[in-house]
Structure 1
Amino acid sequence: MIKVVIAALVACLCEYFALQEILSTPNWFSVILLHAIASILFTFVSYVLIPKKYKTTLVNGTLLLFLLLFSLPVFGILGVVMALTFALCNPLKSDDTEIIEHEIPELPFEVPDISANPTYSIGGVKAILKYASEPNKRLTAVMAARHMRDSQAIPILKLALKDLEDDIRLLAYSTLDAKETKLNEKISAYQQQIANTTKQPELSNLQQQLAHVYWELSYLGLAQGALKTYVLEKAEALSLQSIEYAQKPANYVFLGRVYLALGHYERALDFLVQATELGMARRHVLPYKAEVAFCMNKYDDCKRYLKELPEQPKGSELRQLQEYWNA
Structure 2
Amino acid sequence: MRAPSALSPFGLLFIALGAVLELAAWLAWFGLGGVPGTAVFLVLHAAAALGIAVGAWLLLPLRLRGGRGSAIAFFFSAAFFTSWLGMAGIVLALLPGFYRYGLRREPGWEQRREPDLPFKPVQVNPNGVFMRVGLAAVVKYFRDTDLRRRAVMATRHLSGRRAVPILRQALRDPADEVRLLAYSMLSGKERVFELEIRRLQAELREHDGRSGDWLREQIASLYWEQSSLGLVEGEVQAFVLQEALLNIDAALSGRPTAGRHYLRGKLCMRLGRYNDAERALSEARRLGLDDNRTAPYFAELAFLRRDYATCRAELARVGHEIRKLPRLEPVVQYWI
Aligned to 1:186: 196
Name the structure 1 match of 2:307.
298
Indicate the structure with greater helix content. 2
Alignment partners' CA distance in 2, 1:143 and 1:309: 37
How many residue pairs get aligned? The number is 222
**Percent identity of paired positions between Structure 1 and Structure 2:** 31
In 2: Cα distance, 1:233 partner to 1:266 partner: 16
Residue 147 (str. 1) matches residue 157 (str. 2): yes
Contact 2:302 2:310 in 1 (8 A): yes
**Structure 2: where are the runs of 5+ without partners?**
1-111
Deviations 1:177-219 (A, max 9, x none): 0001111111111110111112x22111100001111112211
1:133 aligns with 2:133: no
In structure 2, give the amino acid aligned to 1:276. R
The code of the aligned residue for 1:218 comes to S
Instruction: Give the structure 1 partner of residue 293 of structure 2.
Output: 284
1:233 matches 2:259: no
CA distance in 2, matches of 1:292, 1:221: 22
Runs of 4+ off more than 3 Å: 103-108, 115-123, 312-315
- Residue in 2 that maps onto 1:318: 328
Q: Would you say the 8 A contact 2:167–2:186 is kept in 1?
A: yes
1:160 counterpart (155, 164, 170): 170
Instruction: Find the counterpart in structure 2 of residue 113 from structure 1.
Output: 121
Paired AA for residue 167 in structure 2: L
Question: How far apart are 1:319 and its partner, in Å?
Answer: 2.1
The CA distance in 2 between the partners of 1:147 and 1:173, in whole Å, is 17
Match of 1:251 in 2: 260
Taking only aligned residues, the RMSD between alpha carbons, in angstroms, comes to 2.4
Q: What displacement does 1:294 show?
A: 2.1
Displacement of 1:246 in angstroms is 2.1
Give the partner amino acid of 1:113.
P
Distance 1:117 1:203, change over 3 A: farther
Match of 2:213 in 1: 204
Structure 1 residues 206 and 122 mapped into 2: Cα distance closer, same or farther (>3 Å)?
farther
CA contact (8 A) 1:183 1:217 kept: yes
In the alignment, the residues of structure 2 paired with residue 117 and residue 201 of structure 1 have an alpha-carbon distance, to the nearest angstrom, of 50
CA distance in structure 2 between the partners assigned to 1:208 and 1:178 by the alignment = 24
Q: Distance in 2 between matches of 1:317 and 1:223?
A: 21
Once the 2 structures are TM-superposed, how far is the Cα of residue 128 of structure 1 from its aligned partner?
A: 0.9
Q: Any residues of structure 2 matched to 1:8-27 within 5 Å, and which?
A: none
CA distance in 2: counterparts of 1:248 and 1:197, whole angstroms: 20
Shift of 1:121: 6.0
**Equivalent in the alignment of 2:179:** 169
From 274, 280, 284, the counterpart of 2:283: 274
Q: 1:297 is aligned with what amino acid?
A: R
Give 1:132 shift.
1.4
C-alpha distance in 2, partners of 1:193/1:122?
47
Q: Is the 8 A contact 1:293 1:299 kept in 2?
A: yes
Partners of 1:117 and 1:193 lie apart in 2 by: 45
Relative to structure 1, is the Cα distance of residues 174 and 318 closer, same or farther in structure 2, using a 3 angstrom cutoff? same
Q: Displacement, 1:116?
A: 9.1
Whether the 8 Å contact between 1:118 and 1:147 is mirrored in structure 2 is no
Quick one: distance in 2 between partners of 1:281 and 1:195? 34
Q: Which shifted more, 188-197 or 305-314? A: 305-314
Contact 2:125–2:131 (CA<8 Å) still a contact in 1? Answer: no
Superposed displacement of residue 302, structure 1: 1.5
Corresponding residue SS for 2:158: coil
Q: Secondary structure at the match of 1:201?
A: helix
Provide Cα deviations, 1:62-106, integer angstroms capped at 9, x if missing partner: xxxxxxxxxxxxxxxxxxxxxxxxxxxxxxxxxxxxxxxxx8976
